């Protein structure tokens, strides 16, 4: 059981989720972005993409997700303004605005690496990215067939 009373995923399921999370980290790093798995101790103290793995057996959305984290100093400035009762400042808006811009880039990078990713429709985490698996996991009939202009092959 998890801390919230939900059943924990089996070790095999967690292994598969962690393997997908590592592929996500690797794809983002290959694109030149700072990325880390949430279990890495330094992940909390640095900016970049943080990949989360859901440990519960039943999830309401994807079992792997990605969030963009701004520089810790910028996040602290936002927290300071919020606790001071100044919710309309640039410092408060900045992390969310950047998160929304990065969400689109993260999804495109992951899709180009063959990883199925989409935006999170959660109003509590609107800039999150949900990861569902690899495109190669899909049956051939369900795999995307779009080829970007200029990359098509002519027989």
Q: What is the pLDDT of residue 60?
A: 64
Three-state SS across 44-81?
A: HHCCEEEEEECCECCCCCCCEEEEEECCHHHHHHHHHH
Rounded to two decimals, the pTM is: 0.82
Q: Are 117 and 141 in contact (CB under 8 A)?
A: no
In this prediction, residue 124 carries a pLDDT of: 80
Q: What is the pLDDT of residue 148?
A: 61
pLDDT score for 129: 95
**What residue ranges of the chain have pLDDT lower than 70?**
1-4, 41-44, 60, 146-155
pLDDT at residue 39 in the model: 82
**SS3 (DSSP) at 22:** helix
Structure token digits, residue 145: 């067939």
CB 66 within 8 A of CB 50: yes
């Amino acid at each position: 059981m998890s801390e919230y009373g939900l059943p924990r995923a089996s070790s095999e399921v967690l292994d598969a989720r962690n393997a997908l999370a590592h592929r996500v980290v690797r794809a983002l790093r290959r694109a030149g972005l700072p990325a880390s798995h949430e279990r890495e101790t330094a992940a909390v103290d640095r900016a970049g993409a943080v990949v989360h793995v859901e440990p519960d057996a039943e999830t309401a959305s994807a079992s792997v997700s990605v969030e963009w984290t701004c520089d810790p100093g910028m996040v602290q400035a936002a927290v300071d303004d919020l606790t001071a009762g100044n919710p309309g400042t640039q410092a408060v808006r900045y992390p969310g605005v950047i998160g929304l811009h990065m969400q689109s880039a993260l999804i495109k990078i992951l899709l180009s690496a063959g990883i199925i990713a989409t935006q999170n429709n959660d109003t509590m985490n609107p800039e999150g990215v949900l990861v569902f698996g690899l495109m190669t996991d899909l049956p051939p009939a369900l795999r995307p067939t779009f080829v970007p202009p200029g990359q098509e092959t002519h027989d």
